[in-house]
Amino acid sequence: MEEVAAVVQRLVDIQGKPVPSLTSENLARQLVSGFRALDAPARAHLLLHLATRHRVDTVRAREAAARLAAAPAGSEGRVQEEVREALVPPHNHVFRRVGQLEGGVKFLVDLRADLLAALRQGEADPQALRQMSSSLQALLAHWFSVGFLQLQRVSWSSPCSLLEKVAALEAVHPVRDWTDLRARVGPYRRCFVYSHPSMPGEPLVLLHVALTEAISSTVSGLVKDHRQVRGAGAEVWRGQEGALVEEAEKVQAAIFYSVTSTQPGLAGIEMGTHLIKGAVASLAAEFPSLSTFSTLSPVPGFRAWLLVLLTKAARGEEAPLTAEEVEQMAATLGPGCPYTALGQVLRSTAWVAQPDLHPLLTTILTRLCARYLYLEKRRSSALNPVANFHIRNGACLWRINWLADPSPRGMEASCGLMVNYRYYLDRLEANSLAYLSTHAMDADTQVTDLLA
C-alpha cells in the first residue's frame, strides 16, 4: 500500500510543474496497476489515505478567501483563480490524470464503487470519504453527461458479449436462460442501453420495454410468457423459424418494466431519466400512433415498512386500520390484536393460497401501499426510491396492482403489489417542476380514492 501511496504523492507533487506528459502517464499507470493488486482491506486503507492526506487545504483556502475579500474592486480576477485552485482537492488532479488513460474512466468508476463500499462498512473519518466521493462524483457526472452517452437498441442480432452482459446485469427481473433473454429482446419487446465511448461494450443503464395494447397490471405477461404478447391480439408467424411478426396497429402502449443501473460507482449520476426519454423518442418515431407510455414497477421496501408499522401499532403507537377493517380482521382471523395477527399472516406467503383472505387483504394492502407511495416522505420527497425516481421525472402515480408479482422476490419486497407510473408527455415538465419545487405529486384518482 505504501508504494501506491508514494505514487499518488508524486502525482500530486508534479501538478502544475513542467513535467513530460509521459512521466505523469507512467505514474498514473503505476497507480492503476498497484491499486488493482491490493486486496479489499488495503484498498479501503488507501482510499482513506487519499481522502485525508490529499483533501482541500483549509488554511490555504481561507488565506486565499481573505485576499479575495481584501482585493480592490476590479482587481479580483487573479485572486479568484487562486481561490478556485485552493478549493480543488489534490486527489482530483490524480483522478483527472488517471481518467486520461485508456480504461482510466472505467477504473475510476470501479474505484468510486470501492469508496462507497468503504463508507457503508463504517471506515474511519467518513466525512473525508464522503467529500472525496462527492468530488469524484462531480468529475464522473461531467464525463458521463448525456451528450457523451450513446443510446443503443439490443436485439437478438446484437453481439453475443452484449447479450450476455444484458442477461447478467438485469437486476429487477433476473433473466433465467437464453430463451428468456431472446423473448425480452424479440418481437413486441425492446431493450435499450446507454453506453459510453470510454467504456465500450459496457452497458451503463438497461431499459426493458413491452409493446402491448393496454397498460399491463401483472408482470407474468411481460417476463414469463415467451410465445405470446398479452393483449396483442392474433399473432402472425412467418419464416423458416416461425418468427413472430409485429403488427404495428396492435402497439398501443409501451410498458417500461425494468430499469437497471449497472455501475455502482455511478450512483447519484442521473442516467435512467435520460434513457427513458431517449427510448420514448425512439419508440414514438418507430410507432407514430403510440401515445401511451407507462411503467410496471416494483415497490421495494413496502413489506418491510408495513411490518414495522404493524409492530408499532401493536404497541399502541398508531392505528393504521379503520374500525371496519379491525372488525373484519376479528371475524376472519379471530380475536386478539389485529395488528399482531396481520403481521403474522404477512410474514409468510401462505396467505396467497388462501382465497378467503384476499378480499380483506386487498383492501388493506392496496390502501396502505397508496399511503406508502403517496404520503410517506423522506426530506419531503417520496420515501420509496422508485416512486421518487419516476415522480421526479414527471410521471403520474397511476395505479396500484394487486398480486401483480407473486414470485418469491415480489412477495418479499411488496406482498406482490406493483404500481404503474404513467408518463403523460404533455404533463412531464409541469409535473417534474411541481415535484422539485413544492414536492407535489401527480396521482390518479385510482390511487387517491384508496386513501379516501
Instruction: Provide the annotated active-site residues.
Output: 297, 390
Q: Please, which residues bridge with residue 401 across strands?
A: 418
HEC string for 26-46:
HHHHHHHHHHHHCCHHHHHHH
- 294 and 253 in contact (C-beta within 8 Å)? yes
User: CA–CA distance from 216 to each of 190, 308, 388, 397 (Å)?
Assistant: 16, 30, 21, 14
Give Cβ neighbours of residue 49 (< 8 Å, ≥ 6 apart).
1, 5, 8
CB atoms within 10 A of CB 182: 15
285-321: burial string, b at 16+ Cβ within 10 Å, e else: eebeebebbbbbbbbbbbbebbeebbeebbeeeeebb
Strand residue runs (E) in 111-176: 150-154
How far apart CA 58 and CA 330 sit, in angstroms, is: 64
How far apart CA 326 and CA 218 sit, in angstroms, is: 29
Give the residue from 95, 179, 181 showing the smallest Cα distance to 140. 95
Q: Which amino acid is at 175?
A: V
Dig out the grid coordinates for 401 from the structure: 396492482
Q: 2-13 and 40-53 are packed helices; what angle lies between their axes, rounded to 10 degrees?
A: 30
